[in-house]
Every structure is written in C-alpha cells, then in structure tokens.
Homo-oligomer: A and B are copies of this chain.
Amino acid sequence: MQATKSTRIKRVGTGDAVYDADCIVIEMPLVIRINGHRHATLMCTPLAIDYLVIGYLLSDGIIDTTADLISLDINDADGIAEVAVAAYDPVAMGQKAVTSGCGKGEIYLEMLQHCRRNTSVVTLSSTTLLQHVNKFNKMSALFLSTGGVHSGAICSPEDVIIFQEDIGRHNAVDKLIGEAASCGIGLSDKILLTSGRLSSEILLKAARQGIPIIVSRSAPTSLAVEIAERLNITLVGFARGNRMNIYAGESRIDG
C-alpha cells in the first residue's frame, strides 16, 4: 500500500506565500479483531501491517510465539486484521484496565512480571555501535519525504539487519518484533535502535523479547533507566555522530 500522499499547502516564508504540493505520511486506523472480537484499534502507517499485528500480539502478551497464531488475515481496504488464536478471553481483556485498585508499587511489579533479568553476554565496540546508528539514520526515506514518522532497527553486532518505520514509535518497535519473529531471527543477542524517546513502555517491549541493548538518538526517562538497571539491559541515549551516553549496562559496550 501507498505510505504517502500529496496535499496542497500554502507555504509561508520570507517572500510572498505560495501554493505548493507537500508530501504527507498516510495515517490509517487498523482494527485488530481476535477470534471475532474487536480487541483494539491502532493508528498506523500502511506498511508492513502483518509485522505490526504480529509484534503487537507478542508485545501485548496475546501470543507468546508465532506458533500460537492460528491465522492472520489482513483486509487492507477495510483496515481490519482478523486474528485467530487458540486462547482468548475478551471479557478478561476488557476488565484488565478496569479492575483492582493498585498504585505505583504494584503497577511497577505488574509491568516487570513478564520480564526476566537479561543474561546476554553480547558485546560490541562503541565505534561499531555508532556506525550502525549513523547507517540507520540514513535509512528512513519516509522520514526524509514527510518528516512525520519514527523509525527503528534491529542490528547484530556486525550490521543493521531489519528496518521499520511508522507514525508511532511503539508501532515501529512492534513491526521490528513482528518481523524478527516471522523470520525466525532471535533477539537475545541483538541491538534495538529507535529514533524515539526511551520511555518505560519501549523498555518493557524490548525486555519482553530479551533484547539486551537498546539505543536511541533521543533521551531516556527515569523509569526506563530504572528498568534497564533492574533487568540488566544496556541503555544508550543521545547516540549522535561520534557521541553517546550509556545509562545502564555499560559492560556490553567496549571502549
């Protein structure tokens, strides 16, 4: 499907304003139906929707591996993804958000319950990591043409191996997770690069898949650093040019 469209704009600058064409990124609603029940609506970029849905199901804990997915049928025109899985309880899913009255401590434990301490011994040099980041920064044709998307990549210590983009930074990461799972690429020795800020939700998505190293050109939050420390994840922020800040798990980055 087409990911961009042209729109007519009035361009205001130092001289006279002019009417011009501008390229904008397409945003569409995607309804995810599971075993016939409407589960969620994602607002997304119409690229790699199959990977987005699979990654979303993995991140949300609906499936543990792609073997749990009986079928996935995407109707692009209507924006509906029909998912069949062995076990799904729509009432329990609906109640997830509205039951029990826990506060900060409990929420924090709830978040971490699906994540184990990362034991990966993968390492790479800071020079190689920054080479991957600089290669990654040049890969987003959609960002260059529209300025309206986040991008993400999965790297091995040697190279960038998967690249995805979406209007949402969560969606971009889910697409990477979905593509890796679909292609049988294990993530326990890989690096996640993201253009977006490093918040707790991104950390938990990556932690759940066992990714040991997470890198962004942008800033981390306090909770992201806390989760990285607790789960022994390497967290790198402000990776730009030949600089970066290592917030946690520095032993995986040499030099």
Contact = CB atoms under 8 A, between A and B. Distances in A.
Contact of A101 (B17, B26, B33, B246): B33
29 contacts: A7-B247, A9-B245, A10-B245, A12-B243, A13-B243, A24-B220, A24-B247, A25-B219, A26-B223, A28-B223, A29-B108, A31-B103, A31-B107, A37-B98, A37-B99, A38-B97, A38-B98, A38-B99, A38-B101, A43-B199, A78-B103, A78-B104, A79-B103, A79-B104, A91-B98, A93-B97, A97-B97, A147-B218, A167-B199
Contacts of A255: 12, 17
Interface residues of A, number: 75
A107 B41 CA distance: 9
Most buried by B among A14, A27, A219, A225: A27
Contacts of A168: 199
Contacts of A14: 242-243
